Structure 1
Amino acid sequence: MLYYIYQHFGINIFHYISVRAFIGFLTSFLLTIFIMPKFITWAKQKATQPIYELAPKSHQEKVKTPTMGGVVFLGASFFALLLAMKFHFYTFIVILTMILFMSIGFIDDKAKILGNSNHAGLTAKQKFILQWIFAFIIAGLLYFSGFNRELYIPFHKEALFDMGIFAIPFWALVIVATSNSVNLTDGLDGLATVPSIFAFFSLSIILYLMGNVMFSNYLFLPHLNVGELTIFATTLIGALTGFLWYNSHPAEVFMGDSGSLTIGALIGILAIFAKSEFLLIFIAFIPLIESLSVILQVGSFKLRGKRIFKMAPIHHHFELKGWAENKVIVRFWIISFIANLIAIISIKIR
């Protein structure tokens, strides 16, 4: 809306991505801060979190905590995007990603709440199939739009090669992997929220630089028409910051699968637009480690009959070792911050 005000009324300040990015951030933050308490009051009666019976005993006290907060902060983000973002095909792709993956999480959360059990939602297989179907749709649309199919790796400015048609399964894998990784990370108060904020911040910088001819040439980055997606990233930062106000320990609300599955998928799709799929090793370091801990735990138990960790994902391992929940959370935040600094530094290294 603001961009069209600039076009029709000549208010030049709304032409700048940086200005509209800040407006998107502030709008989504304030909306989330304002709406969330009302949602929490309603959800205490209608939508509380079923706790997995094998989770550490300290988690059982969270059984009455409202869930599905992701619907609120993603809704606030969507409204802010309508206000601040200029719409074209790439912005349509990220909004479609948000809608499709939030629908999976919403269906799963609603079933768990109505059934009052973690086993009442979609099965892991059902969620996985839906994620792959939606990811292939998104990747296919992006491929046939003619988007850059070259593959880049961290600390190396030149493209390795053009992926061609193989870009579709690769991009789908990135979206599904990040979606599930953030979902696995969302097990402690604020644990998924802050690393996601860091991830979107790193991606917003890369997208802004790639969308600017002068900056992209100076830094030897591919110049693509992705600058507008900076607004998408900052809007999500604002919404997640507002959500953290209520999600920090002890959490008053959880994001649920409707939030975590969607946030992960959006990190994945923005990384694709930023040609930073492999840079996710740093940008999404904590979700990556959480996923790897589950893969290693399951693989070890099936092959050797032994567990590597006391419990997976790995944040539960540290809880069972005696770390206080808040200590696990803050230490993981610190690690995520450092990893994202490395990701940002890699932009300049050639």
Structure 2
Amino acid sequence: MFHWIYETFGNDLGFLRIFHYVTLRAMMAGLTAMFFTFLYGKSMIGFLQSLKFKESVRNDGPESHAAKSGTPTMGGLMMIVSLTISTLLWGNLTNPNILLLLGSAIAFCMLGFSDDYMKSVKKIKGGMRARTKFLVTILIAVTVTYIFYYISGRPNTVASKGILFEITDLFLPFFKGPVLTLGVLAVPFAIIVLIGSSHAVNLTDGLDGLASGTVVIATATMALLAYVSGTPVAANYLNIPYLPGAHEYSVFLAGLSGALLGFLWFNCHPAQVFMGDTGSLFLGSTLGLTAIMLKKEILLVILGGIFVAEALSVMLQVGSFKLRGKRIFKMAPLHHHFELLGWSEEKVVIRFWIIGIILAIISLSTLKIQ
């Protein structure tokens, strides 16, 4: 809205030019989302309780988790509402990728909501049928990916504005320039990234503040990467792809970071609310889609190393048990393994946050170490 006000009245009212600056709008988006989450957080938690949207703890989980049963879930609604408000207020809505990011987030949020509703209200064990959930996830991912490649075309490849590349090129961290042109394989690759990232964050959401804390580190880092990727001078200096309009993604990501921080206020131990699949699916898919848009798909493996480790621990555990009849970890996902080793929940969460910060620093260092 404020960007539209600037575009419409900026020439006549000079003071409105302040809304042209992405940095200001990004900061305001973050503060706005955080403020709204704080503002209606308690009311939303009470509303979720009144509707009996409550978490059911797995029977085979750590004994310490028994007390979590009955905690309100679907807290992802708090974040998606705040994110939508901040994006509509501060985002450049003439940028189609901003609308795509928001639309994708809402779609995955609704998928997660449906799953949570079946588990907490309908009392259907496991929620939505795995096959149905997977098919809907693929449908959303295919739609989002198709729209992105349809509206993207070829980006500006002027040498003075960053390195030459094609939209289907693949980049590796610490390597200068693209290492491979995926061509038509770029579409299925992007779909895998979207689905993989959404479910990896979903698996990470098992301890108070774990997913929300690690995701906010990743989204804040992505916001910085988006800003430099969309700034010609920065892209040329860092010798990275220049992506026109990508700096606007930082407004969206800052809003998401603010919403996450506001949610973390209520989600830290002992949690007053859980995000549920309503939150985790859209958070993970947003990270994946942003990585695709910024040509940072492989870098996401480093930046989201916590999520990758959580997902791998589940795959290794299941594979090992089916093939050998033995488990590698005491329990999967990985955070439960450390709990059963004797670590307190707070220790696991804080140490995972620390690792997330280290991975974020490594990810940012790839901008110059090439």
TM bucket normalised to smaller: over 0.9
Task: Tell me the secondary structure at the aligned position of residue 201 of structure 2.
Answer: helix
Task: Tell me the secondary structure at the aligned position of residue 156 of structure 1.
Answer: coil
* Residue 324 of structure 2 corresponds to residue 330 of structure 1: no
- In 2, are the aligned partners of 1:36 and 1:69 still within 8 Å (CA)? no
The match for 1:192 is 211
- In 2, are the aligned partners of 1:50 and 1:116 still within 8 Å (CA)? no
CA shift, 1:60, in A, is 1.2
Structure 1: unaligned runs, 5 residues or longer = none
CA gap of 1:118–1:334, structure 2 versus 1, over 3 A, is farther
The match for 2:335 is 315
- In 1, are the aligned partners of 2:80 and 2:106 still within 8 Å (CA)? no
* Residue 140 of structure 2 corresponds to residue 134 of structure 1: yes
The match for 1:158 is 177
| One-letter identity of the residue aligned with 1:54 | D
What pairs up with 1:152-301 in 2 under 5 angstroms? Answer: 152-225=171-244, 226-301=246-321
CA shift, 1:286, in A, is 0.6
| One-letter identity of the residue aligned with 1:214 | V
- In 2, are the aligned partners of 1:152 and 1:158 still within 8 Å (CA)? yes
- In 2, are the aligned partners of 1:207 and 1:273 still within 8 Å (CA)? no
* Residue 109 of structure 2 corresponds to residue 102 of structure 1: yes
CA shift, 1:118, in A, is 4.3
| One-letter identity of the residue aligned with 1:171 | A
Q: Kindly report the root-mean-square deviation, in angstroms, between the aligned alpha carbons of the 2 structures.
A: 1.1
* Residue 332 of structure 2 corresponds to residue 303 of structure 1: no
CA distance in 2, matches of 1:63, 1:30: 28
| One-letter identity of the residue aligned with 1:141 | I
- In 2, are the aligned partners of 1:151 and 1:275 still within 8 Å (CA)? yes
The match for 2:43 is 38
* Residue 12 of structure 2 corresponds to residue 12 of structure 1: no
TM-score (norm 1): 0.97
Task: Tell me the secondary structure at the aligned position of residue 282 of structure 1.
Answer: helix
Task: Tell me the secondary structure at the aligned position of residue 192 of structure 1.
Answer: helix
CA distance in 2, matches of 1:198, 1:144: 30
Task: Tell me the secondary structure at the aligned position of residue 177 of structure 2.
Answer: strand
CA distance in 2, matches of 1:330, 1:84: 32
Task: Tell me the secondary structure at the aligned position of residue 97 of structure 1.
Answer: helix
CA distance in 2, matches of 1:322, 1:212: 47
CA shift, 1:282, in A, is 1.6
Structure 2: unaligned runs, 5 residues or longer = 11-15, 155-166
The match for 1:74 is 80
CA shift, 1:117, in A, is 5.4
Which whole-Å deviations, capped at 9, do the CAs of 1:114-160 have from their partners, x for residues lacking one?
134542x1122222221111111111112222251111010112011
The match for 1:51 is 57
CA distance in 1, matches of 2:271, 2:256: 20
CA distance in 2, matches of 1:260, 1:199: 14
CA distance in 2, matches of 1:105, 1:160: 36
* Residue 96 of structure 2 corresponds to residue 89 of structure 1: yes
CA distance in 1, matches of 2:149, 2:4: 28
| One-letter identity of the residue aligned with 2:261 | T
TM-score (norm 2): 0.92
Task: Tell me the secondary structure at the aligned position of residue 159 of structure 1.
Answer: coil
- In 2, are the aligned partners of 1:50 and 1:117 still within 8 Å (CA)? no
Question: Aligned residues: percent identity?
Answer: 41
CA shift, 1:308, in A, is 0.1
- In 1, are the aligned partners of 2:305 and 2:356 still within 8 Å (CA)? yes
Task: Tell me the secondary structure at the aligned position of residue 210 of structure 2.
Answer: coil
